[in-house]
Amino acid sequence: MNTIVSILIPTLNEKNYIVDCIRSVLNFDIPDGYEIEIIVADGMSKDNTRELITTNFADDQVSIIDNEAVYQANGINKAIQLSKGDFIMRLDAHAIYPKDYLKRCLTLIIETGADNVGGAVLTLRGAENFTAKLVQSLTTHPFGVGDSTFRTGDYKGEVDTVPYGFFRRTIFNKVGLLNEKLIRAQDYEFNRRIKKDGGKIYIDTSIKIKYFNQASLAKFYCKQYFKEAPYNAYMWYLAPYTFTVRHAITAIFTAGIILGFLLLFLHNFFLYAYLGSLFLYGILAVLSAFQQARRYKDVRLLATLPLCFFGFHFIHGLGVLKGCLLLLAGIAPVQK
């Protein structure tokens, strides 16, 4: 009897990406002795995501289940419970996967004995416009996203998280399912729970996933402020073991900008410290922008990226602080 790998794809209004995503999955090299099942957990899409799936793929290729709760964690948990595989591969509909992705993940998890493995994210533009290139540039440089190994690193070894994940089924029996209170950061929390319980997570950044970012800078900033950043704070509240300085640094940065401005006129010390800090930040931002302008061969990035870096860090930090304030007030979504 073949070993089954269950491939789970949560979706919500993914008409622009879902067909290419599933085609890349169906093109996987499948090692002898293995077979796959593909389960799409659809969050009741309002566009024609479901129609595109049923039109382009046969029923025996892709199963669609209703995720009436809409959010990813709920859909993934439901799909896990309905799946049959000894291995669980959680994918994202916004991405395209290489032909050898399944085979290399299987090899990595078997060789390392890990509970979860993954590769690196190769960030592509979500649209053919300059602001989409800005988003790509912001999220592919350490100055923008910090020491995020799966985004900017070159590494093979043990880590605290990987994108999406290729899991042994037994890990869900051991540490539970995804936390459904977290509509963001649920993957990171789950990976940290694995580590907390003594499990192992490995990455091989030579395994590349092509991911399409937001199509505009405005959409990217809105996602950071309203969705990504507050859920860092909510995650720390629900699972204190997930706290890292990397995720908190933008909140410290934004608090420093605001507090420093309020103290500017009290004493020359605060004025000089404030201006000196901004000058140092500006130097680092310009140097990073120069590197990205060379990398993406676009001189416009040199003029625009420094300010965009500042906007990204300030808005993300503001979102984290907003999450903290809502928690202190007892009205955060995860407290309801």
Q: For the chain, what is the radius of gyration of the CA atoms?
A: 21
pTM: 0.92
Per DSSP, the three-state class of 109 is helix
So where are the chain's domains? 3-121+150-211
In the chain, beta strands by DSSP E: 3-11, 34-42, 63-66, 87-90, 95-96, 116-124, 156-158, 166-168, 201-212
Residue in 181, 166, 189, 143 with CA at minimum distance from that of residue 85:
166
The predicted-structure confidence for 27-36, as pLDDT tens digits, reads as follows 999 999 999 9
CATH 3.90.550.10 fits 3-121+150-211, yes or no: yes
Residue in 50, 52, 45, 40 with CA at minimum distance from that of residue 13:
45
Q: Return d(Cα 86, Cα 225) in angstroms, integer.
A: 38
The predicted-structure confidence for 30-71, as pLDDT tens digits, reads as follows 999 999 999 999 999 999 999 999 999 998 899 999 999 999
CA atoms within 13 A on the CB side of 305: 31
* CB distance 28 to 97 below 8 Å: yes
Q: What is the pLDDT along the chain (336 residues), one digit of tens a residue?
A: 899 999 999 999 999 999 999 999 999 999 999 999 999 999 999 999 999 999 999 988 999 999 999 999 999 999 999 999 999 999 999 999 999 999 999 999 999 999 999 999 998 998 899 999 999 999 999 999 887 766 666 789 999 999 999 999 999 999 999 999 999 999 999 999 999 999 999 999 999 999 999 989 999 999 999 999 999 999 999 999 999 888 899 999 999 999 999 998 888 888 899 999 999 999 999 999 999 999 999 999 999 999 999 999 999 999 999 999 999 999 999 998
